[in-house]
DNA sequence: TGAATATATGTGCATATGTTCATATATCTT
DNA sequence: AAGATATATGAACATATGCACATATATTCA
């Protein structure tokens, strides 16, 4: 791999940083979590579910997606344990299953609002 | 677009959710922010810069990427105003330019640590 | 000025992602 | 049981993403 010629400008700093950074698996799972929030429609879905428990039908109507598309996204959110669900007859009601998500959303919103173009 | 036959199970809830959700542009920019955190290498980079101001060379060494790859990622982080930089001779030193990012990282880390597989 | 070094950028490519469409499954109603 | 409805899933497709590689730019130093 190409590196700088001195190889390192300040190897002490580099060493410090290396030990500070989390392990590979943790990094991967953090990225996985953020990636789940990295799509406007999923932000919408999560925001909707933060507001109200909803069945797939109402959810997809609220966020303007087809039930199929919503269902696909719900599956990945389910796999990440970000949403939970309960069946009630033909309907399946989804809601958030993670206390961090709402805080993340709130932080993200703050960031965006403080950096209006 | 395919919808449920009743069209809506609970249109009042749907209406409530619709008004609760942010506007399109805000949603897009929130997703954009989270997407920036949605890659293990970028989490690494941001974590590294949260620890220490670093030049591209030391940064890429610390996170195990080629300087080129790091530079590419730094560009997108720059475009999102998540990192700032200063030139010092041949080197360019990068650091975080957003107070929310560290909190987001911390939240994400917490989530991951509380959901160990 | 010219060589060397750090960083930036353009291009191409392999892979990942999100949606649509078709179809499957589950539940309710008659 | 059969039809209707809500949800889930599989496949295919267009687009986005991240990296390597080549090359450009900027700065230092001889």
Kindly provide the ipTM of the predicted complex, given to two decimals: 0.92
Which comes out higher in pLDDT, residue B30 or B9? B30
pLDDT digits (tens, 9 = 90+) for B81-105: 999 999 999 999 999 998 899 999 9
Helix (H) or strand (E) holding A34: helix A24-36
Q: Are A101 and A46 in contact (CB under 8 A)?
A: yes
How high is the pLDDT of residue A63? 96
Q: How confident is the model at residue B110 (pLDDT cuts 50, 70, 90)?
A: very high
Q: What are the residue ranges in chain A where pLDDT is below 50?
A: none
Please, where are the H alpha helices in B3-94? 11-20, 24-36, 40-51, 56-63, 67-79
Q: Cβ B105–A30 below 8 Å, yes or no?
A: yes
Average predicted confidence (pLDDT) for chain B = 92
Q: Which of B66, B68, B60, B67 is nearest to B44 (CA)?
A: B60
Domains of chain B: 11-114 (1.10.10.10)
Which residue of B lies nearest to A6 if distances are taken between CA atoms? B57
Which residue of B lies nearest to A108 if distances are taken between CA atoms? B30
What does the pLDDT average to over B34-58?
97
How high is the pLDDT of residue B57? 95
Q: Cβ A38–B43 below 8 Å, yes or no?
A: no
Q: Cβ B104–A107 below 8 Å, yes or no?
A: yes
- Set of chain A residues whose Cβ sits within 8 Å of the Cβ of B68: 2
């Amino acid at each position: 791999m190409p590196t700088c010629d001195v190889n390192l400008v300040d190897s002490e700093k580099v060493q410090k940083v290396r030990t500070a950074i989390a392990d590979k698996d943790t990094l991967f799972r953090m990225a996985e979590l953020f990636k789940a929030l990295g799509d406007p429609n999923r932000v919408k879905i999560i925001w909707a579910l933060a507001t109200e428990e909803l069945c797939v039908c109402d959810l997809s109507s609220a966020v303007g997606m087809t039930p199929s598309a919503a269902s696909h996204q719900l599956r990945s959110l389910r796999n990440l344990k970000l949403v939970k669900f309960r069946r009630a007859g033909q309907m399946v009601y989804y809601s958030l299953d993670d206390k961090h998500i709402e805080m993340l959303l709130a932080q993200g919103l703050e960031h965006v609002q403080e950096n209006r173009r």
